A and B are shown apart, each in its own frame.
Chain A
């Protein structure tokens, strides 16, 4: 029994059906962690991208180092760091929040690159035309560059949303009861790992296929020339 739901181990199919609702609880946690982590990554990534673009090296350089560090060290280490080291400084967060934060931190480094690449892909002539028309740097960014960068940014972001969802199982090592963690507990208690783990694999497969399809659809529906301003 888990989350007050009983399982029936009489045969594999019945077992599978009986644990499906339990796995769905885990899936719900997985999706929440992915979305929250991704939200953190989107905001923090934008901050990192902006700081990296600051002309003053005293700002851009440390930002680059931090982003590189977040990207090139394993997620598990960052997670352990937040989970075991932060409490020593008196900052105690629930496991779920710690996990989502760790995901968000690492993915903020990835997303900062996505933002940067999207913005840099806008041709130089657009900046020059805006400058020749005397638009302010702020107006240029908001009205000229960003609308053209967004259709390049969103599909790449979609791919990272899929990737972050696939990284959520790592949170199970700090006791977050997400999909894989739940499946393992069921296995521990019933000595049947085959069925729950196979189901987790299947659920992930369906999830990823759906998401990839969604990203492709989105990509095709985005106007290539930028968010239109009439």
Chain B
């Protein structure tokens, strides 16, 4: 097996006196689609936010693409990462947020072109062409000139997915991408993510409460509780035959809800 593209090595994360991640070990292989499930407050978002460099770590080392994310190598030692190191590392990752976080003052197309122009140095024309291709891929080519508030939630989230892809990340992070949506709009967003999972060699890390969706698209499902991975496995095995008591309780509760 090749080196994992994501590796958490004994990572701790504390907010003040609250310990959210507690010696977390976790790996994702290149191209793998992994779903993280777990109770509210168990640290699922925190894992994604650490990877997206929105949240720093308290202990341990996180590796992305073999390089330490929150550290830099200096004379054989790890020192805290500089902003320029973080900038470089961030290029590898894209994130889709629960609340979309589109830029409301920019048209849909401009949402997709702004960062490629500013950060990747594409020309406006190149960025537009690429942006339109991506909009076409998420089924919104005809909405390019609209502003986000003129779209439905499902459409907005599809734009947000396209916006993240426009930066050509190797890893896509999805933090409950459908949980802010009306039930009838969940399907269209899941369809886009499913298509991404099937047709691209992206590495995908997904947090969701939609168990059926998790089962469909993941290579592996991880159950996190109390700041650690408690159980993981291929979706078939994981959902039909969970080994841990806590996993069974959790699945029981969540399936009863749905």
Contacts and interface: CB of A to CB of B under 8 A. Distances in A.
A139 interface: yes
Contacts, number: 74
A230 B110 contact: yes
Given A125-B101, A134-B167, A228 B118 contact: no
A144 B119 CA distance: 14
A5 interface: no
A134 B91 contact: yes
Interface in A112-136: 123, 125-126, 128-129, 131-136
A143 B119 CA distance: 13
Interface in A146-163: 147-148
Contacts of A132: 52, 54, 90, 93-95, 164
A134 B90 contact: yes
Given A126-B101, A229-B106, A133 B119 contact: yes
B105 A148 contact: yes
Contacts of B53: 131
B7 to A, nearest CB: 20
Interface residues of B, number: 30
Interface stretch (A59-67, A68-76, A219-227): A219-227
Nearest to A128: B54
Contact of B105 (A129, A133, A135, A226): A226
Nearest to A148: B105
A134 B86 CA distance: 9
Nearest to A147: B105
Nearest to B99: A125
Contacts of A223: 105
A123 B115 CA distance: 19
A126 B103 contact: yes
A128 B105 contact: no
B26 to A, nearest CB: 20
Given A132-B94, A133-B114, 13 more contacts: A125-B99, A128-B54, A128-B101, A131-B54, A132-B90, A132-B93, A134-B91, A135-B114, A143-B114, A147-B105, A228-B105, A229-B106, A230-B106
14 contacts: A128-B54, A129-B101, A132-B54, A133-B115, A133-B119, A133-B167, A134-B91, A134-B167, A148-B104, A225-B104, A225-B148, A225-B149, A226-B105, A228-B107
